[in-house]
Structure 1
Amino acid sequence: MLPEDQQPTDVSTSLSPRPDGGAQTTGRWVVTFADAGDESAHAATLRSAGMSNVMSSLDFEGQAMELAEAGSSDAVMFAELGVAVVSADPRQASGIRSAAGGAVVSVEPEYVQHVLPAAGDDRYLQGYRDGVTDVSARLLGDAGVKLARDEDAADFADNAQFTWGLQATGIPSCSFTGAGIKIAVLDTGFHLAHPDFVGRNIISQSFIQGVTSAEDGHGHGTHCVGTACGPGAPATGVARYGCAPEADILVGKVLSDEGFGDDTSILAGINWAVANRAEIISMSIGADVPQVSQVYEAVGRRALNRGSLIVAAAGNNARRDEPSLPTAERYGFVGISANSPSIMAVAALDEKLGIGVFSARSLADVHGGNIDLAGPGVRVLSSWNVPRPEYDDRHYRSISGTSMATPHVAGVAALWCQARGVTGRQLWTTLTQQAQRMQLPSVDAGSGLLQAPQ
């Protein structure tokens, strides 16, 4: 759904669950101001609530915050977003909103977040493809809607020139490259010495306390950067895997090498990307939490107002290949932050353009909990941070997830930015209007499979 300025709700980053099924929190609180304007007024509001030591993103060049310096602060403000993270006890936090009058619209716990669990690698779902679960996937859904791919649908495969995802989205016949467009990938960082990215315009920043480099020790971020921005002709001769080979790359390390981070790091990354005028912000991180966060909805809406579109992974909590499960468990739901009306939620498709068995479904009873667009997300080949023997010791890997579909959308979005000069809400509209309509229900695939400009 196209976001509206008045909608007050959410983000897309993954929470670390507690044993009781909840989500871990840090003990800090995220304050959302009614507007993203008067920084001095916001600081005064926090000081009136007893927070004397207030740090702002404006204190840093390019708003690239050094969060190690935030440890002794009572509050950290993000100027572009109109939000702050504060250290306060529950009683003090509950008093912030009432003391501020209409200047504060929400005070929410700060969550611990992590990358969406990988849905698998090259061998993932091989049994599904040829087994009995493929038959069950062709059955009618609960509402009598066919959930599986069309019998006559295309069957894509990687070839010597292009990965199957680039073929499915029309990249081979697209003349645009993303030149002059900035894509920010907020994740576990990037393998800065990857041989395919020598000479590329890459700006990187770590937003993890105590970590000065955005180097990726995990792999997830490197994979996502590759899909969105990989080269037109990889140096090692592997098939082209990147959508926007000439886009400028902003790498924000908002999750540690273990895949964990918190709202402070993620908000700092978004704030930095918006301040540096990134047209697209890609976040392949999410939380299995159905409730919409007012913090991330405000962030998504304000980013759109500044010409930055946030695309986020819908989530991998479905188990569609287990027909005996209750409906809610089988189809899952879109989690935060992708369930925000102002953040584009991306589902995952397989090589036959069927919905990935792990890909979350729209939540009918949550405003904003909808799938907006679908992208290739099963067995996706892209860059990796360490050599993989199956690729002759080169730096590549195939994995699956809505995390892999999201950077496809980010990269193709850059092509549309270049082709039509559209940003923000206009870019959102263009992507959904130009998508390839599918036989899949919209609760699974939204407007359909994204397509590159021709």
Structure 2
Amino acid sequence: MLAVEPERVLHALTDTLTESYTAGYAHGAADLAARLSAVGAASAPALPAATAVFQDNNQYTWGLQAVCVTRTKRTGQGITIAVLDTGFDLDHPDFAGRAPITKSFVTGQAVQDGNGHGTHCIGTSSGPSAPAGSRRYGVAPGVRILAGKVLNNAGSGNDQGILAGIEWAITQGATIISMSLGADVREVSQAYENVGRRALAAGSLIIAAAGNAANRPGDPAFVGIPANSPSIMAVASLDADLGISFYSSGSNPVAGGQIDIAGPGRNVYSSWPMPKRYNTISGTSMATPHVSGVAALWSEATGHTGRALWSDLTQHATRLPLPSSDVGAGLVQAPA
């Protein structure tokens, strides 16, 4: 199918928290409590722990606990994840010996991450199983890493570079393509839908951040491009109490614009360019690599790719007492 579209600028989807968050969180917590009461004990879905409030400990981040990485024997061995973002800190000591395959699609800028967003996302999806002097923060430590720089050091990039990065990831054999980026555009982009279909046909699942445009509880906003493409999985962000993050965009009424699944996205600890080494940030950007890492674990466990892998993720997600328009199938879960 041929289509003519304007060239867009997309951005890394990290939320910048403000003081207004406190009031928004209070309203959101009250809303969650009301929904929990309405559901009732008999019909409430099982959550992955006795309590639905998680926190980092000396061994694992709260996100890894929530998606049950703590119980799995899988590491993502033999699976390739491509993270298309602001690049990667090639000198980060936690990734010594991993030798990611890298390529920059940003004119005049090398893959070396001058922003931090890409290094953080790669850490969450693919960080080591036992980082020295740190809790574990990576979902799938055994994967092969592709680091494509499609966003510049200011955190923005155009369609041309992003689409080229996706095509590169497909040709490099990526089973999962993780994109924590987007633009607040309601309409589906035919260009992203076309490449999403090609990816699925080639056995590559594109997983993308839903967006941080919401201001809950009053304004859920909508899933933007490229996550609103029918052939691209849209990821929402959850807080440590498994409530929807106040900034996490809700479903878009366009075909394919629904939220498909949710992951931990609030106050996520992961790798950061040296010398800082680690950082804690929030956004649907942070939820997306949780889902991407878990996808690698499922692909290792089942051998599934493409649409079958998509089904594995949604069918095994933990249902939450929240609208599917906000969290889709629910909280992504690692295989046992």
TM-score range, shorter chain: over 0.9
Offset of residue 120 of structure 1 = 3.6
Q: Distance in 2 between matches of 1:333 and 1:153?
A: 30
Correspondent of 2:306 among 424, 429, 451:
424
* Alignment pair present for 1:217 and 2:114: yes
> Deviation digits for residues 284-305 of structure 1, max 9, x if unmatched?
0011111001111111011000
Correspondent of 1:255 among 143, 147, 151:
151
Is the contact between residue 110 and residue 262 of structure 1 (CA under 8 Å) also seen in structure 2?
yes
Offset of residue 260 of structure 1 = 1.7
* Alignment pair present for 1:434 and 2:316: yes
Q: Distance in 2 between matches of 1:124 and 1:199?
A: 43
**Equivalent position of 1:318 in the other structure:** 214
* Alignment pair present for 1:345 and 2:240: no
Computing the radius of gyration from Cα coordinates, the structure with the larger value is 1
Correspondent of 1:163 among 39, 53, 61:
61
RMSD between aligned alpha carbons? 2.3
Q: Work out the percentage of aligned pairs sharing the same amino acid.
A: 57
Correspondent of 1:116 among 13, 17, 30:
13
Matches within 5 A, 1:359-398: 359-363=248-252, 365-388=253-276, 395-398=277-280
Q: Distance in 2 between matches of 1:427 and 1:257?
A: 32
Structure 1: 5+ residue runs without aligned partners? 1-33, 35-104, 324-329, 389-394
> Deviation digits for residues 296-352 of structure 1, max 9, x if unmatched?
11110110000000000000011114x4xxxxxx11100000001100000001111
Structure 2: 5+ residue runs without aligned partners? none
Matches within 5 A, 1:240-319: 240-319=136-215
Is the contact between residue 182 and residue 278 of structure 1 (CA under 8 Å) also seen in structure 2?
yes
How many pairs align? 329
Where 1:374 maps in the other structure, the secondary structure is strand
Offset of residue 263 of structure 1 = 1.1
Offset of residue 420 of structure 1 = 0.7
**Equivalent position of 2:4 in the other structure:** 107
Q: Distance in 2 between matches of 1:412 and 1:125?
A: 29
Offset of residue 113 of structure 1 = 2.0
**Equivalent position of 2:86 in the other structure:** 188
Is the contact between residue 14 and residue 282 of structure 2 (CA under 8 Å) also seen in structure 1?
no
Is the contact between residue 345 and residue 371 of structure 1 (CA under 8 Å) also seen in structure 2?
yes
Q: Distance in 1 between matches of 2:239 and 2:177?
A: 24
Offset of residue 116 of structure 1 = 2.0
Q: Distance in 2 between matches of 1:255 and 1:186?
A: 8
**Alignment TM-score, normalising by the size of structure 2:** 0.92
Matches within 5 A, 1:59-78: none
Offset of residue 125 of structure 1 = 4.5
Offset of residue 128 of structure 1 = 5.4
Q: From the superposition, tell whether residues 350 and 117 of structure 1 become closer, same or farther in structure 2 (CA, over 3 Å).
A: closer
One-letter identity of the residue aligned with 1:380: V
Is the contact between residue 119 and residue 316 of structure 1 (CA under 8 Å) also seen in structure 2?
no
Is the contact between residue 24 and residue 216 of structure 2 (CA under 8 Å) also seen in structure 1?
no
Is the contact between residue 14 and residue 281 of structure 2 (CA under 8 Å) also seen in structure 1?
no
Where 1:331 maps in the other structure, the secondary structure is coil
**Equivalent position of 2:327 in the other structure:** 445
